[in-house]
Chain A
Amino acid sequence: MSGKSYQIPRRSFLRGAGVSIALPFLDIMESEGSAKESPKSSPTRLCVLYKGCGVNPHSWDIVGGTETSFELSRILQPLKAVKDDILILGNLDNEGVSSHMDAPGTFMSATKHKDANRYSFDQRIADVIGHETPIKSLQLTADQVWKQHPWLNILSYDQANQPLQGQYDPQRVFDLLFKDTTEFRRQTEVLSVLDGVKDASSKLNRKASAQDRMILEHYYESIHEVEASIQQSRRNYRNDFSDKKLDEIDPNLRIGHLGERIKSMLDLITLAFWTDSTRVFSFMLANTNSRSHYDFMGVNAEFHYVSHHVRNKNVLPDYDKINIWHASQLRYLVEKLKSIQDQDQTLFDNSLILWGSGIKHGDYHSLTDLPLILTGGASGKLELGRHLRYPEAQPYANLLLSLMRIMGVENSSIGDSTGELTGLSEKANFKSQNIDDGSWEVINSDGATLTAKGLLRISIEADTEYYQLRLSDQSDLEIRIPYMNNHKLRFDRCVGKVVTITGNYEDRGGKKTVVSLTKVELQK
């Protein structure tokens, strides 16, 4: 094996919009000999795209239609071109905490309590299949770490509950993927240096306290882990690699605005999948307290600010705009993966992508009916082109359990899972939910208070959000209640469900309008 002499480039990183960085010449991998046998079938790759800050449910929810014949909602419009390649999930609930801090960790591990071990599902997968590639897994982020609350920005946690910080700089990701793993001479040096340090350990630190020695042991333990990962990358080097693949995808590492960075990262994910550098990615497009400005698309306010669209007025158009853009990023990745041949299929056919947010309603931070999309052929284990809405709410954790199995990782449970989800790999034909049995009506009203039963829906008009209770006579009872009232009753989480409500109403233009609620009951 011939190696390139080791040198980390000393150039300053080129920054600023429109600056493209030349790709280094990667001839090292075109080495003779020690070619590996090509695997018979291409492996499945996993990518999680997390977008924080939820959605405006009114713009997200798909109303009406059937499992296979439905109209895409406003936010989902960018996915029109790939509608047959996606599986939109509905009615998955992730009970537990829903603060900014906890949403990403909860999303990845379905653990309710923030003090629990957050060993995330992607890492559970990487721990099983990650040894087959040069790099076990990679974590990316498009949001900056907010130093006072770094956990906001962390998706993946390893088995020891160590947070795996996402890479922010596409150039660094490129180097990790295609440079660091190919520097054989440097790897040899590092291995011998670390080996030496370990060998010397027995004679060292005798004077340290018992507690300090435990910390130092942990240090030696991590030396061992680094050695193992270097050995892995040497064992699994890519023998079919050529810079032709780089030319073809051209991860045009523009390190300008947020949009360019995200695009570069998606290119790098594709390239990493294609070269089989790693099979597990998690990518934070935006965290749940994102202070990012999407000014490249004309939004001049923080994403988190506009996501609180009930309390902050006139922000809804911008909020929708960002979410629509996040959906369009998914389309970009789908189309990119579909454009690449992977043995006799496309890369898309052998990928599994989860796109979603850890909360639903941006202002109420509800955890019910999470916005989720699955895509990728998953090596034949997903039936795409559907809107799969479960008639009864399912634990979100069950989805993670199913995704692990699709990736070939059998686990009996994760978080508060109760079993696997049905209906992912073939048409589910669920009976339509919320069947109107004729009992949806105003049960009693006395001029000031009423009790009514019906299907709760969220609605919007002139930038004002309100709710409607659909009754059996196809009329809608309007519900316009104060923010606090909604929040205290956790009313928003009942959307899409049949409820019985009790509250005060007023007569507005000859129509009853509920103005405050005292009680909300979900139909069993």
Chain B
Amino acid sequence: MKNWIQNESKRICLSSLWVLLPLQFACSSERLPDQVSAILVDNCIGCHDDTQSEAGIDLTKLLHTIDLTDETIVKRWTQVERVVSRGEMPPESETQLMPKETERIKDFYRDQFILRNGQAHFGTTPLRRLTRYELHNTLEDLLLVDIKDETILQGTQHQEAIISKIPADLPGNSGFNNDGWRLASLNPPLREIADTIHLALEDFAGNPEGLNKVFGLKEIPTKASPEQAKLLILNFTKHTCRCSSNRSEEIAATYHAQYLTDLEESGSSEKSLLSIFERILISPDFLYRIEASQNSKSPYPIQGIELATRLSYFLWSSTPDDELLRLAADDSLLKDDVLTQQIERLLNSPKRVAISENFAAQWLGFNELITNTEYMENEKWNRETYDEALYFFDELIRGKRSLLDLVSSNWIYRRGSEKSNSSDGANISTQTLPSETYATIFPNALWLRQQKPNKYKPPNLIQVTSDREGGIITSPAIMRLTASKNRTSPIRRGVWILENLVGKQLEPPPNIPSLEEAKQRLPLIENPSVAQLLQQHVSQPQCVACHQAIDPLGLGLENYSSNGDWRTQYPNQSAIESVGVMPNGKRFSTPKELKQILLDIYRDEIAMNALQRLYAYAMGREVQPFDRDTLNLIMDHLRRDNYRLTTAIKQIALSKPFRHRQDR
């Protein structure tokens, strides 16, 4: 990426696009202040040098220069600052830092990594290309057509839907496939995008409803006058391109000139117009979300249309609707109160399902249930399991619920059940979506209901009464995704919770001994249990730190089979012990108790992790050190407001980074 930015040669720029990363820190190497390096030398390097490298961490690299373009150095410093400010390092057995020294490290970190020249900044704003999912939604909303990408679930597509061949996007460092830097680094699948757009326009041309929406016409004229054609092109551009009217006119004029040439060959204005529309939709003005640049190193506010676009792609994964465009045109959207109203309006719209379908499904991984054959049980089971997770997440928004409900809740969505009269009605939004509204946002479900009215019903919200349910952790979706087909894996489940919900970055395990060797060290126990084996398995000191956090979580969920069914015995009929001791010393004997202890220990971390994931998704980039103040501010809001997911969404959309742009 350094080459890419610094080198003028185009060829080199292309060859290194693959490792393209944001250039967040424009300044290069500087000397580390002596006072800071002295603290490291006196207190840290003793264990973390290049030979001993305790816990695999070598800090000698930090001593000489501050290379702010080196990602590993930035990450290492972030880690150092975190453990030092929390008092986790140096370890208890060693001499502790003096308060003054701790402050010096923190100040140094703040000056270098959070601020730039003493000012807050938000890093280079990535240019965002529409992902497959966003492109489909956008075309559907603009042209009133129906596009589906392929899933492994049979019969879940509209028969008349366009089946898009655009391949799935790869996730970037943010963990999401809408990562601007990742999208910029890969060649777009242009052939497939062109084909999908072509089919969408074919359908659009034959659909009076869509034509009426865009042009106020029932059909595209076969013999349009040049002036009429010009107007149609302008209308189409204005409708699709998310740009100022000046810009629309500029684009329309360019393509109108092409239209006139094209018409001479084709002789049909309809044909030529459709070809022009196709060009407009393949042009970067449509496929990218280009924002006007002031070529500035400091953040500056974006324009109304740009904010409307950011907002609707964040909440709907689609293009702004007419109301947003209207409020954008006169920049009234830039006002806090108008923006707040619009956030609420968008969250009340069925299109908000994008947050669950796109953000949550990637974060929690439940999209794998409908796209990855390895998780295929049968059509019905996968569909229902996926829907339970999808509706669960949407309920956090719909019911304005706490994101901690992901861990434990007294409600869930369950297949094949009747709606229960929820007793915690006070918690539930009055703006309940009518069931037919879901039908429009879950067209797959709609199709199934129409075709097979008795075979498929969406899951219903029910009150949880047993100790076995509640939260998404123990949902069949997550239990299936964290197991292999016929075998549960306590480690995989424990790691999933710590990485995905708590947000820990677990180091890959060093070479671990086998269970068989562990068995040999348990000579006194005949037929040791899975728990005993694991305990021995991780008896090595370098393993304990992680495994004392991982194992109880996974073992505590052994009552759920690989399909999420409740069980009390393993297939070999040995009994399941789901009792355990958490790292804080507390015992649990049911999954419900385990979830409670999980919240007791990690409440803030779970909330912060959810917030960071959402923020990365909203910004289309990885969270960086300079985001810290923004995130802490939003965390304060969250704590005060019962950790509601809607509060996190709202505060991100209202935050400065979301409403500012920075070019370098």
**Chain A positions near chain B (C-beta within 8 angstroms):** 8, 10, 12-13, 15-16, 115, 117, 144-148, 150, 159-163, 165, 169, 172, 180, 186, 189-190, 192-194, 196-197, 199-201, 203-205, 207-212, 214-219, 221-223, 225-226, 230, 291-293, 295, 300-302, 305, 310-313, 482-484, 487-488
Contacts and interface: CB of A to CB of B under 8 A. Distances in A.
B198 interface: yes
Interface string B373-402: 110000000000000000000000000000
Contacts, number: 198
Contacts of A310: 514
Given A193-B275, A204-B285, 11 more contacts: A10-B160, A12-B155, A15-B152, A172-B165, A222-B190, A230-B191, A291-B374, A305-B487, A311-B513, A311-B516, A484-B513
13 contacts: A10-B160, A12-B155, A12-B163, A13-B163, A15-B152, A147-B171, A147-B365, A165-B170, A192-B275, A200-B254, A200-B258, A204-B254, A210-B663
B17 A160 contact: yes
A350 B291 CA distance: 54
Given A203-B250, A217-B10, A196 B255 contact: yes
Given A161-B18, A193-B194, A311-B515, A147 B368 contact: yes
B372 interface: yes
A219 B486 contact: no
A207 B306 CA distance: 13
A162 B154 contact: no
A311 B487 CA distance: 16
A226 B191 contact: yes
Interface residues of B, number: 81
A198 B529 CA distance: 66
Contacts of A200: 251, 254-255, 258, 279, 283
Closest 10 A/B residue pairs (Cβ): A311-B514, A209-B293, A161-B18, A196-B279, A487-B511, A209-B663, A207-B292, A212-B127, A215-B184, A160-B15
B267 interface: no
Contact of B290 (A115, A207, A311): A207
Contacts of B152: 15
B572 to A, nearest CB: 12
B484 A301 contact: yes
A483 B190 contact: no
Contacts of A15: 152, 154
Contacts of B187: 162, 222, 225
Contact of A144 (B10, B258, B374): B374
A191 B330 CA distance: 39
Given A13-B150, A214-B13, A293-B485, A193 B664 contact: no
A488 B511 CA distance: 8
Interface of B: 4-5, 10, 13-19, 23, 124, 127, 129, 150, 152, 154-155, 157, 159-163, 165, 167-168, 170-171, 184, 186-188, 190-191, 194-195, 198-199, 247, 250-251, 254-255, 258, 262, 275-276, 278-279, 282-285, 287-288, 290-293, 295, 362, 365, 367-368, 372-374, 484-487, 511-517, 663-664
Nearest to A16: B154
Contacts of B293: 207-210, 212
Contacts of A313: 514-516
Contacts of A16: 154
A159 B16 CA distance: 10
B507 to A, nearest CB: 13
A16 B152 CA distance: 9
Contact of A205 (B4, B19, B23, B290): B290
A483 B511 CA distance: 9
A484 B171 contact: no
